[in-house]
Copies of this chain bind each other. A is one copy, B any other.
Amino acid sequence: MAKSSVKVAVIGFGTVGAGVVKILQAGAEDIYRRTGVQLDLAHVVDVDLQRDRGVELKAGLLHDDLDRVLADKDVAVAVELVGGTTKAAEIHKRLLASGKDVVTANKALLGERGKEIFETAREHGRCVAFEASCCGGMPIIGALHTGLAANRISALYGIVNGTCNFVLSGMSNEGKDYSTVLHEAQAAGFAEADPTLDVTGVDSAHKIAILSMLAFGKEIDFQAVQVQGINTIDLTDIRHGQELGYIIKLLAIAEQNEHGLSLRVEPALVNKESYLAQVQGPFNMVSVFGDAVGHTCYLGRGAGMMPTASAVVADLIETARGNAGRIFASTAGLGRPAEPAQMCPVDEIRSEYYLRLSSVDRPGVFAQVAKIMGEHKVNISGCLQQGSRSGQFVPVVMMTYRARQKDIYDALSELARLEVVNAQPVCLPVVMLPADE
């Protein structure tokens, strides 16, 4: 038991695959010294056999034939780094059916089709380990599996997409607009050529679905995650937020309240003194609240070759030890069935809000706005208004006390119908983490 040797196949030789190969080639001896686990790279599978990935492979390791991996009885664990949800699902199923454990960084697959993949693993008595699927090398999956396992988790707030955080940091720090910073992020390698999954919040939704399943021990329907991205964020709101003492971050939120579990991804204002507000560039942060432990918080690089490879190899070590298998087998939603989470109706979500509307600058307009807010039980806690002295449209920025999302939305649609209000009002939640004093 003290020493284990395991043969590993890597399926998908892209950026992260190359990182995994680097660690397995350069770090294997040190890993063995510290952990007693010997990881031997036996196959690297990719359709592209020519491209230079900046790592040298021993002759014969790289090929394009998944069947050779499936037939190799010595391979105990395979790393799926193909990505996507269709071909990757098939690869997972074939690997599991051939008796191999699977390690993956594929958040889209597990976020959207996790139940199906985990059931397949269960049928075949194998495991799927996925530390690398959320937040790169920050060991948040491990923390939920083990370190926090004694807790009933009440809430989780995360900056879980490095691309979005890089873009929002750039907009906040440098006052540049969305598309300028997005292009810079692409040039710097912090955004994909097609950044849609990131900037629309879908990638963050995949991650909050995975994290919530573990945190709450419930089956999560990916479609139940409310998703809003950063692609509609206006520099104006970032500036107004800063004047009021807030930074805008894309948050992935899971909150358990008396109505059920609320899962959402949304750009939100966070107090500029908070830890979340200070997360810069491609870093990720996750704050978790447990009934015994209180607030714990995790910071690390959210993506990239080596941080993600770090998490993949961590899972390989735990799989080789047999621990990943035991955790998988005993965890609700993985090796054991879990009940579907009871979801909080969207209307029952409560938050403070930031509102901006464009209204004609003339006497009585603010009173009209305030009256409508009051009729919908939304109390204004503060406002920013600069007169134009010209009867033109001017921005009116309001902060509210805690209110029901439905009441805010109802008030907003009524406001949008006023003649004195121009264009669709902007509404962003103001997220205050639970007190832990």
A interface residue numbers (CB < 8 A to B): 1-4, 19, 23, 27, 30-31, 33-37, 131, 136-139, 142-143, 146-152, 217, 273, 275, 278, 281, 290-301, 306-307, 309-314, 316-318, 321-323, 325-327, 329-332, 335-336, 436-437
Contacts and interface: CB of A to CB of B under 8 A. Distances in A.
Contact of A146 (B149, B317, B329): B317
Contact of A36 (B1, B314, B336, B436): B336
A-B CB proximity, top 4 nearest: A139-B147, A36-B330, A34-B217, A137-B293
B309 A301 contact: no
Contacts of A293: 136-138, 300-301, 306-307, 310-311
Given A19-B292, A142-B147, A36 B137 contact: no
A433 to B, nearest CB: 12
Contacts of A331: 34-36
B30 A311 contact: no
A34 to B, nearest CB: 3
A316 B147 CA distance: 11
Given A27-B152, A150-B313, A292-B313, 13 more contacts: A1-B326, A1-B330, A27-B151, A33-B217, A36-B335, A131-B147, A142-B146, A148-B314, A150-B310, A281-B437, A292-B306, A323-B323, A323-B326
A309 B2 contact: no
A291 B31 CA distance: 12
- Most B Cβ at <10 Å: residue of A131, A136, A273, A275: A275
Secondary structure type dominating chain A contacts: mixed
A327 B323 contact: yes
Given A3-B330, A151-B310, A314-B148, A299 B301 contact: no
Given A292-B309, A296-B138, A322-B326, A314 B146 contact: yes
A299 B285 CA distance: 11
B296 A139 contact: yes
A137 B322 contact: no
A378 to B, nearest CB: 32
Contacts of A149: 31, 34-35, 313-314, 317-318
Given A299-B275, A300-B297, A314-B148, A327 B321 contact: yes
A34 B307 CA distance: 28
A398 to B, nearest CB: 29
